[in-house]
Structure 1
Amino acid sequence: MVSTVPATAVQLAGLSVSLSVLVVFAIVVAAVVLFVTEAVSPDVTAIAVVVTLVALEPFTGVSAVEGLSGFSNPATVTILAMYILSSGIERTGVVRRLGVEVAHLTRGSENRLLAAIIGLTGPIAGLVNNTPVVAVFIPMVTDLANEAGVSPSKLLIPLSYASMLAGTLTLFGTATNLVASELSAELLGRPFGVFLLTPVAVVVFLVGAAYLLTVGKWLLPARVPPGSRTERYEVQPYLARVLVTSRSPFVGTTAQSVAEDARRDLGLDVLDVVRGADHFPAAESDRELRSRDVLTVRGDPPTIQRFVEFGSLRRLPRAAVTDAELDNPERSTLVELVVPPSSSLVGETVETARLRERYDATVLAIRSAGGELVRDGIGATKLGGGDALLMQTTEEAAEFLADNDDFVVTGEVFDEVMARVREGGVSSTAVAAFGTLFGVVALAALGVLPIAVAALAGVVAMIVTGVLSPNEAYDAVNWNVVFLLAGIVPLGIALRETGAAALVADGVVGATAGLPAVVVLGLFYLLTGGFANVITPVASVVLFLPIAVSTATSIGADPFSFALAVTFAATTAFMTPVGYQTNLMVYGPGGYRFTDYVRVGAPLQLLLAVVTSAAIALYWGV
C-alpha cells in the first residue's frame, strides 16, 4: 500500500523527520502516558487513539475503515470467542476438580504444593484463557496454604507467573499471541500456527518453573501470615462481645433498631445477637433485646468503648470472636472476596457500592492491592482491582456473590463448591465443553478453518449443547480487553504507513551497529518486556513488532525470529502488578508490595531474555 501522508519534513536533532511521523510519535507518547498513569482505563485510551488517528488522517494515513478494522480483526474475534469457550470450561467444574484432587495429594508439604500449583496451572492456561484459571485457583491456594501453615504470599505470585509462562504454549494462550500472529501475517505473510510457539514455549515454561521452585521461592516474602481469616486480617482488636445489662436502654428495643442507630451515629456494626444457645443477625431481626443478651460488634476500639458506655453494656474480654463465631451455617457465612480488575465496582467506595444493601454483607476488613490492611473507616475506602475483602453475610447472599463477575469468592462458599465437585462425576456438559474446545484446536491446527471461524464455531457448539446460555456467553466476554485490542490495532497501521516504524528501526540499527543479530534480538526482547510491564502486553506487541521486523530486515537477520522474540517478551510482564491482570488479581490476597514483583520478577525476566533468545536462535535461526 502506498502511503498518502504528507511528506513535509522537520529538522529534528539533525535528522529530517516528516510531520506525519512526528504526529504519530506524539499520539504514541500520549497513549503510553495514559496507559502508565491510568488517568482513564486502558480500553478508553485505546478508543481515543482510534478517534485521534482517524481525525488526523491526513497525517496518520489511517482512514475510518482502517481505524475500525480492529473490531473485525481475526485476533479480536478470536479472543472474544475464547473468553466464551473458557467460561464454558470453567462452568463444568472440571478445572476445580483437578485442583482439588491434586491439592489433596500435596497437603502439608510446601514444596509439593508449589510444584503442583505450577505444574497444574501451566498446561491448563496454555489451552484456555489464564484469567479464569487463576480466579479458580486463588481460593484453593489460599486455603491450602493456611492448612499447611504456609504464607499464601509464598504461592500466589508463582500461581500468576505460571499462568503467564504457559501463555505461549499454544496460540490460544493469550490475546498477545493472536495479535502478534495477525501482525506477522500482515508484515511477513506468515501467521502463527496453533502449536508453532510450543517448542520454545516448553523450554521457557520449564526454565521459569525451575526458577520459581528454587530462587523465586527464596525471594518471595511471607507478607500474609498463615492462620484463620480473622487472624490473617488482624481484625480481633476490632471485634468484641458485649453484654446487655438490666439497666441498658437497649432492653426492649429491637435488635435491628439498635444496629441501625449504632451504624448511623457511631459507624459501628452490630453483627449478631447471642441469647443462650440461640443466635440471630441483628440487622435483620425485629426481636427485642433482653437483659443478658450478648452482642457481637465491629468497630475501632475507642468507638466500641463509646458504644459500651452509652448503652450501659459490659464488655466480655474473655469472649474472643473467632472464625467459628462469625461463620455458622445456621445464621451467617464468613467469606473472602477478591475484586478483579474488570469489576464494575473498581473506583467505588464500600458505601457507594452498597454492599450491605445489595448482599446483606458487613465488610470486616480490606487488604488493599499493595498490602495495606484497612479495618477502620471501611465505608469510605475506595475499591481497586486486586483488593481482598473479608465479609460476613448470609448463605443465600454468599451463593449469589459466587456467581457475580464483580468478585472472586473464596472461603466457605468455595469449600462447599469443592465438596460438591468432588462428590459428582463427569457430566455430559463437561464432555460437550471439552469436546468443543479440542474440536476448535483441531480445526485450527489442521487448517480446516481459520482460527477465528473455528473459535466462533466452538461458541455456537457451546450454546447449542447447553453448556452456556446466550446471556452467559455475552457475560463471559471481558469487553474491556476486546475494546483495548480493537482500539490499539490501528496504531500499528499508523506506525507502518507513516514510516515511523522504519525510522525507529534505522535508529536501532545505528545504535547496535556491529552487534551480533542474536544480541539485537535479545535487546528487543528486553525492550518489549520492559514496556509490557507498564503499557500492557498487547500495546507492546503493536508498538514493537513492526519496529523489530524493520530492524531485522535492515541488518539482514530473519524478521520472523524477531517477531517471535517480541511475542514471547510481551508475555513476561513479571515486574509490576499492573503489567498483567493475573498479577493484579493476586496482589491483595497475597498482601504484596510493588517491590515484591520487581524483586522476584526482574531476575526471571532477565533469565528468560537469555533463554528465549538462545532458544529462538537455535530452533528458528536469526
Structure 2
Amino acid sequence: MVPDSVLNVPDALAVLTAHDAHDAPEVTMTVSAAPTGLELPPAALDAAAIVEVSGATVVFGLILAALVLFVTEAIPNDVTAIGVMAALVLLEPWTGVDARGAISGFANPATVTIIAMYMLSAGIQATGLVRRLGVHLADLTAGSEFRALVATVCTAGPLAGFINNTPVVAVFVPMITDLAAETRISPSKLLLPLSYAAILGGTLTVIGTSTNILASDFARILIDGRDGIGMFEFTGLGVVVLGVGTVYLLTVGRRLVPARVPVDADPIDEFDLDDHLAMMRVRSDSPVIGRSIDTLDADVPDVRILQLRRNGSARSGPDSAEPIRAEDRLVVHGTLQAINRFREATDLAQLVREDVTEETFETAETDGTLARAIVPEGSRYIGETIAETGLSEYHRTTVLAVRRAGELHRSGLSALQLQAGDLLLVRTTPPSIRYFTDTGDLLVAEETAVERLASADPADIAPISDTAPVAVAIMVGVVGIAALGALPIVIAALAGVFAMVVTGCLRPADAYDAVSWNVVFLLAGVIPLGLAMDRTGGAAMLSELLVATAQVLPPIGVLFLFTVVTALLANVITPVATVVLMIPVAVDAAVGFGANPFAFLLAVTFASATSFMTPVGYQTNLMVYGPGGYRFSDFLRVGGPLQLLVAVVTTVGIVVGWGL
C-alpha cells in the first residue's frame, strides 16, 4: 500500500495507470510534496485537488440520483442499481471505477453467500416444517387474541435468525390471516407484529439477513485482523434486541397497532366492490339464451361473467361452456356504466335486491372462491400487466380489485402493471391456489382455510416431506461449520446447497427460483458505488464531517448518532444500499477519533437491518402492507417508538459488549 503522506510524481503516474481492481481499492490518492525527488509545483497541487473534489462531487451526484430513484421507485430498484454500474464506468475519469470494478459486486463473497442462503431457505421451506408449525399455532391459541400475538411473535422471531426472514413472512402471512379468522380478531393486529418480529429475529445471526452477511464481508476488508464476523458473534446483542422488541410488541405496540381490517370482513365490502358486482336474471326472450359464458364473455371485454347460477348450483366463468338458459342468474363484474351497457344490450334483468357477497362464490356446487393474494418479492408477475400474466386464461383466476399503498384500483385492471406488495382480490379455484403456493408467484391469504374444506387433518394441510430430517441436518451442518470457522460462510453455504440438491431435498430449478434476483442485482450494483466513494475520497469527506461531532458529543453520542442516521436512511432506501454507503464512513470516522471501528460497524449493521418506520424500508413490511389494510402513518406510529427503542438498546449493548 502506498503511504498517503508521500506520493512523488513517478508514484502518482504509476497509480494513475494502474487499473487492477484488486490493487486500486488500497490506494489513497492524496498528492503532497515529496521529501525527495521532483516535487509538484503549487499549480499542479491545486489542479490535483480540483480533480479529487470533482470526483467526489460526481459520486455524490450519482448517490443523490440513486437515492431519489430508490425512494420514488420510478423504476425498479435493481434496474437503478444496474444504471449505477453503467454510470460509474462511463464517468471513470472522475469515479475511478473501471468495468472490472463495476461488476465486482457479482463476485463479492457476500453476494454469493446471499444467493446460497436463499436456496438453503427454500430447501427448509420445502420440508413443510414451517407450514406445519403455523397450522398448530391455531390450536395453541384457543381463540385468545393475546395468545395469538404471543404465538406469532415468539415463533417468527427465532425462525428468522436462521432462515431468511422474507420467506418466513411469506409462509406465515396466509397462516396468520387464517389464525386471525379463527380467533375472531382483525388480521391487522397480527400482521405488523409478524413483520417486526421477523426483522428483529434477523439480528440473531450473521445469516439472519443479507445486510448482516454484507457487513461481515466489510469487516474482513476494512478492519485489520478481522476475518469477517463470527456466526454467533453478536447473537447475545441480538437476543437482547429481540427480547426488548418482543416486550414492546406485546405491550405498547399491541395497543398502537390498529385493527384496519374488520373481523370477518366481507372482501366485497373491504374492496368497495358493491357497485362493481351485480346479479342478473336471464329473461325468456334474452338474446343470450343458448350461448355459453365463454363466447359471451369474449364479446363484452369491459364486463367479466364470473358465475352462472341455476337451481342452487353454480358454475364458474368465464371459461364455462354451459349454454345459458332462461331464468339463469349471472354474476358479472365491471364498472357501473359497463354493467348497465351490458344489461341493455343483452336484455337482462338486474336483481337489485340480491347482493353479491363472499358466500355467492363459496356455494358447495362451485369450484370457485374469493381470495386475497399478495404479490411477493421475486414473483414473475412483477412488471407485467394483469392481462399479460395470463391469470384468467391459464389459471381460471380473475382479478377483481387491487389495493396498492392505500389506493384502491377497481377499473382498468387489465392494463395495471403489478408491483411487489400489491394485494389482489381474486376469484380463483383451489387447484390454482395450490399452484400459486408451489411457485411462490402469489401468496394466497386464504390458503389454509380453503384446504381445510377438504380435510381437518394437519398432515393433509401441511404434509412433512420425507427429506425433512436430511434438510434440517444439512442446515445445522452449514451453521455449525461456519460458526466453528472450519470453512468461510460462503463455502459452507454453497456446500449446503450442493448437499441439498444431491440428496433430493431441493431441485435445481427450485433452487434458482428461490433466489430474489432483484435483491442480488441491487446488491451487486451498489457495492461499486461504495468503491467509488472510497477511491474519490467521498467516504473520507463524510467521515471527517462526522468526526467533527466528536468535539461536542461524547463517543457514545456519536455512536448513537450513527445508529439513528443509518436507521433513517434504511427506512427510505434499501437496507443493502444503506450498509454499503454507511459502513465505510462509520469505520473511517471511528478511526478518525480513535474509537473502536468494529463497534461502529455493528451499529450500522443493526440499524440497517431494523427498519420499522415505513412500509418500503424492508421487504417484510411491504408484504403485510396490503393484507393488513395499513396506512403509511401506521408504520410511523407503531414503528417509530420501536425504532428509537432499538437504537438505544443497540448503542448501549455495543458499548457494554465491545467498548468504544
Partner residue, 2:230:
193
Q: How far apart are 1:487 and its partner, in Å? A: 1.9
Correspondence for 1:547: 585
* Alignment match of 1:385 (pick from 411, 420, 433): 420
List aligned pairs for 1:499-578, cutoff 5 A. 499-578=537-616
Residue pair 1:5, 1:61 contacting (<8 A) in 2 also: no
Opposite residue 181 of structure 1, the aligned amino acid is S
Aligned partner of 1:248 in structure 2 is: 286
Residue type at the aligned position of 2:387: E
Residue 400 of structure 2: which of 358, 364, 369 is its match?
A: 364
Matched, 1:332 2:332: no
Q: Distance in 2 between matches of 1:419 and 1:200?
A: 41
Identify if the C-alpha distance between structure 1 residues 552 and 376 changes in structure 2 by more than 3 Å, giving closer, same or farther: same
Alignment of 1:71-470 (within 5 A): 71-189=106-224, 190=226, 191-227=228-264, 228-261=266-299, 263-264=300-301, 267-327=302-362, 328=364, 330-368=366-404, 370-412=405-447, 415-416=450-451, 421-423=458-460, 426-470=464-508
| 8 Å CA contact retained: 2:180, 2:186 | yes
Bigger shift: residues 241-250 or 316-325: 316-325
More displaced stretch, 391-400 vs 80-89: 391-400
Within the candidate set 83, 96, 100, 1:61 is matched to 96
1:546 Cα deviation from its structure 2 partner: 1.1
Residue 489 of structure 1 corresponds to 527
User: Shift of the alpha carbon at 1:149?
Assistant: 2.7
Contact 2:105–2:527 at 8 Å: present in 1 too?
Answer: yes
Distance 1:420 1:539, change over 3 A: farther
Q: CA deviation at 1:329?
A: 6.7
d(CA) in 2 for partners of 1:116, 1:397: 29
Where in structure 1 are there 5+ consecutive unaligned residues? none
For 1:393 and 1:606, the matched residues in 2 are separated by 43
Q: Tell me whether 469-478 or 350-359 shows the greater mean CA deviation.
A: 350-359
Give the whole-Å Cα distance in 1 for the aligned partners of 2:191 and 2:256: 13
CA deviation map 1:507-537 (0-9, x unaligned): 1122341311111000000111111112211
Aligned letter for 2:633? T
Answer whether contact 2:550 2:593 (CA < 8 A) is retained: no
Establish whether residue 598 from structure 1 lines up as the match of residue 633 from structure 2.
Answer: no
Which of the residues 80, 83, 102 maps onto 1:45?
80
* 8 Å CA contact 1:70, 1:490 repeated in 2: yes
**TM-score of the superposed pair, with normalisation by structure 2:** 0.88
Query: Secondary structure of the residue that 1:26 maps to in structure 2?
Result: helix
Q: Distance in 1 between matches of 2:337 and 2:182?
A: 34
Please name the residue that 2:38 is paired with.
Answer: none
Flag structure 2 segments of 5+ consecutive residues without an equivalent. Answer: 3-26, 32-43
Distance of aligned partners of 1:233 and 1:147 in 2 relative to their CA distance in 1, 3 Å threshold? farther
Indicate conservation of the 8 Å contact 2:175/2:448, yes or no.
no
Aligned residues: 617
- Looking at structure 2, the residues matched to 421 and 541 of structure 1 have their Cα atoms a distance apart, in angstroms, of 42
Taking a change above 3 Å as real, the CA distance of residues 283 and 528 of structure 1, as seen in their structure-2 partners, is same
Equivalent residues of 1:462, 1:468 under 8 A apart:
yes
Q: Amino acid of the residue matched to residue 232 of structure 1? A: E
Deviations 1:292-324 (A, max 9, x none): 212222234454344334433333344443333
Q: Relative to structure 2, which stretch is displaced further, 324-333 or 217-226?
A: 324-333
Do 1:573 and 1:580's aligned partners in 2 also have CA atoms closer than 8 Å? yes
SS at 1:193 equivalent:
coil
- Partners of 2:246 and 2:403 in 1: how far apart? 28
Question: Structure 2: which amino acid aligns with 1:28?
Answer: I
Query: In 2, Cα distance between the equivalents of 1:91 and 1:129?
Result: 14
Classify the secondary structure of the residue corresponding to 1:274.
strand
1:441 CA displacement = 0.1
Compute the displacement of 1:98 (Å). 0.7
Q: How far does residue 16 in structure 1 lie from its aligned partner after superposition?
A: 11
Q: Take 2:500 and 2:79, find their aligned partners in 1: how far apart are those partners?
A: 31
Deviates more, 1:340-349 or 1:600-609: 340-349
Report the alpha carbon displacement of residue 257 of structure 1 after superposing the two structures with TM: 2.6
Tell which deviates more after alignment, 38-47 or 176-185: 38-47
8 Å contact 1:335–1:398 — kept in the other structure? no
With over 3 angstroms needed to count, the CA separation of the structure-2 counterparts of 1:309 and 1:495, relative to structure 1, is: closer
| C-alpha contact (below 8 Å) 2:128/2:465 kept by paired residues | no
TM-fit CA distance, 1:436: 0.8
The structural deviation recorded for 1:40 is: 2.5
Change beyond 3 A, Cα 1:333–1:446: same
Letter in 2 for 1:566: V
The percent identity for this pair of structures is 50
- Measure, in 2, the Cα distance between the counterparts of 1:329 and 1:335: 17
Match of 1:588 among 613, 626, 631: 626
Q: What is the CA deviation profile of residues 147-180 of structure 1, one whole-angstrom value per residue up to 9, with x for unaligned ones?
A: 3332222221111111111111000001100111
Q: Using a 3 Å threshold, how does the CA distance of structure 1 residues 10 and 537 change in structure 2: closer, same or farther?
A: farther
Report how far residue 465 of structure 1 moved.
0.9
Preserved contact between residue 548 and residue 562 of structure 1 (Cα < 8 Å): yes
Aligned to 2:39: none
Distance in 2, matches of 1:576 and 1:136, equals 22
The answer as to whether partners of 2:430 and 2:450 remain within 8 angstroms in 1 is no
Q: SS of the residue aligned with 2:308? A: strand
Is the 8 Å Cα contact of residues 171 and 178 (structure 1) preserved in structure 2? yes
CA contact (8 A) 2:316 2:366 kept: no
Distance 1:534 1:9, change over 3 A: farther
Give the SS at the match of 1:39.
coil
CA–CA distance in structure 1, aligned partners of residues 317 and 545 of structure 2: 69
Deviation at residue 127 of structure 1 after TM alignment: 0.2
The TM-score with structure 1 as length reference comes to 0.93
Q: Shift of the alpha carbon at 1:566?
A: 0.6
- Superposition deviation, residue 599 in structure 1: 1.7
CA shift, 1:5, in A, is 5.0
Separation in structure 1 between the aligned mates of residue 94 and residue 447 of structure 2, nearest angstrom: 58
Offset at 1:567?
0.4
Q: Is the 8 A contact 2:52 2:536 kept in 1?
A: no
- Shift, 1:95, TM fit: 0.2
Give the deviation of 1:405 after TM superposition.
3.2
What is the identity, as a one-letter code, of the residue corresponding to 2:390?
R
Q: 1:578 to 1:425 in 2, by over 3 A?
A: closer
Give the 3 Å change call, closer, same or farther, for CA 329–216 of structure 1 in structure 2: farther
Distance 2:394 2:463 in 1: 34
Tell me, yes or no, if the aligned pair for 2:174 and 2:447 is still in contact at 8 Å. no
